[in-house]
Amino acid sequence: MARELSTARLARKECISEVAQCYHFEFVVDAMESFPYAPGQFVSAVAEDVNGKMQTRAYSIASAAAGNRFELCVNRVEEGFFSNHLADLPDLPVGGTIQIHGPHGHFVLQEPITDSILVATGTGVAPMRAYTQWLFPSGGPDRSNGKQIWLVYGTRHETDIYYQKEFEALAARVPNFHYLPTLSRALDSWSGLRGHVQVHVSKIVEERAARLGLPLPQPAVDPAISPKDLRFDIYAYICGLNFMVSGVRELLTGYGWHRKQIVFERYD
Ligand SMILES: Cc1cc2nc3c(=O)[nH]c(=O)nc-3n(C[C@H](O)[C@H](O)[C@H](O)COP(=O)(O)OP(=O)(O)OC[C@H]3O[C@@H](n4cnc5c(N)ncnc54)[C@H](O)[C@@H]3O)c2cc1C
């Protein structure tokens, strides 16, 4: 069955990394008063390619719901159709439109909010930005319940740390938000964290367990508890390419984490 499409008008477009060719987009759905969604969900964008074939791609929404607006963060994929269609100025100038359906997806925060480790690489930071905007709105009440929220963001070079200033400002404003960008190919001049995200996720898990006096690996969940009644005091949310997502899932499973504690979205 064909999905109902909505038209989204581009209000702003900014290249946020020349080197990585990553773009930030702000869209408005003029025909709707509000475009509601849960942070972490995605829209499906639809466009016709040069052969007249309709192409659909998923893009995580990079902002918390606000009226009829939503934001995306997309990087060009070499030879890719849709990412270049969005990024190319002649294809999509400010004021131009795209067709979308959604919101879709289950990559959403578990409630009540618990301590949470957000793990992202590349544009996988998009849903994390939506989460943090929702948890710590600048003009509204905090929704984090005072829980510890870590964002571990992995990339190769300093030039592709997307939204770095925003996350640094949030970490400076909110004591329970911890921002940990880490580089796998850092220059000597980089004074921040190095290595893959796994290294830093391990540290968080181990230091937290030591601080709270919790055993590691975590004891197995009683199989008599029905999956719908399972509740945990910490969750991980992982988003990016499958290679990284699988690595972090494996790491956490090794600490005895239950699969329901590990929420993930794969882009490939
Ligand atoms: C739920 C979901 C949410 C997503 N959210 C985002 C987002 O917020 N931002 C974003 O930039 N992308 C996101 N993606 C990926 C996006 O849907 C497209 O796959 C991506 O933009 C490439 O599409 P394309 O048409 O440009 O390339 P295609 O024409 O589909 O592919 C061209 C070539 O690139 C390879 N390729 C496809 N996708 C990727 C990729 N992501 N990285 C590297 N190589 C790739 C393909 O294997 C193919 O060889 C998301 C994917 C999913 C499933």
Give DSSP secondary structure letters for 145-166.
TT--EEEEEEESSGGG-TTHHH
The pLDDT tens digits for 243-267 are 999 999 999 999 999 999 999 999 9
- Give residue 237 CA to ligand 1 midpoint distance, Å: 19
Distance from residue 126's CA to the centre of ligand 1 (Å): 13
Q: Say how many C-beta atoms besides its own lie within 10 A of residue 52's C-beta.
A: 6
Give start-end residues of each CATH 2.40.30.10 domain in the chain: 6-104
Closest CA to 250 of 233, 239, 262, 260: 262
Q: How far is Cα 171 from Cα 151, in angstroms, rounded to an integer?
A: 10
Q: Report the alpha-carbon distance of residue 86 to residue 99 in Å, rounded.
A: 12
**Residue in this structure with the two tokens 């009226």, named with its chain if needed:** 67
Tell me where in the chain the CATH 3.40.50.80 domain(s) lie: 115-266
Confidence band (pLDDT; 50, 70, 90) for 17? very high
- Pick one of 2.40.30.10, 3.30.390.50, 3.30.70.100, 3.30.70.2660 as the CATH number of 6-104: 2.40.30.10
Q: How far apart are CA 192 and CA 159, in angstroms?
A: 13
- pLDDT tens readout for residues 159-214: 999 999 999 999 999 999 999 999 999 999 999 999 999 999 999 999 999 999 99
- pTM value surpassing 0.95: yes
Residue pLDDT, tens place only, 136-165: 999 899 999 999 999 999 999 999 999 999
CA of 86, closest atom in ligand 1:
26
Three-state SS string over 54-121 comes to EEEEEEEECCCCECCEEEEEEECCCCCCHHHHHHCCCCCCCCCEEEEEEEECCCCCCCCCCEEEEEEE
- Nearest by Cα to 250 from 128, 66, 119, 129: 119
Calculate how far, in angstroms, residue 131's C-alpha sits from the geometric centre of ligand 1.
21
Pocket (CB within 6 angstroms of ligand 1): 42, 57-60, 73-75, 77, 79-84, 123, 126, 265, 267-268
| Atom of ligand 1 at shortest range from CA of 57 | 17
Gap from CA of 267 to ligand 1 centroid (Å): 6
| CA gap 15, 25 in Å, rounded | 9
Distance CA 91, CA 75 (A): 15
The DSSP output letter for 260 is: G
Q: How far apart are CA 147 and CA 143, in angstroms?
A: 9
CATH number for domain 115-266, candidates 3.40.50.80, 3.40.50.1100, 3.40.50.620, 2.40.128.130: 3.40.50.80
Percent with pLDDT over 70 in the chain: 100
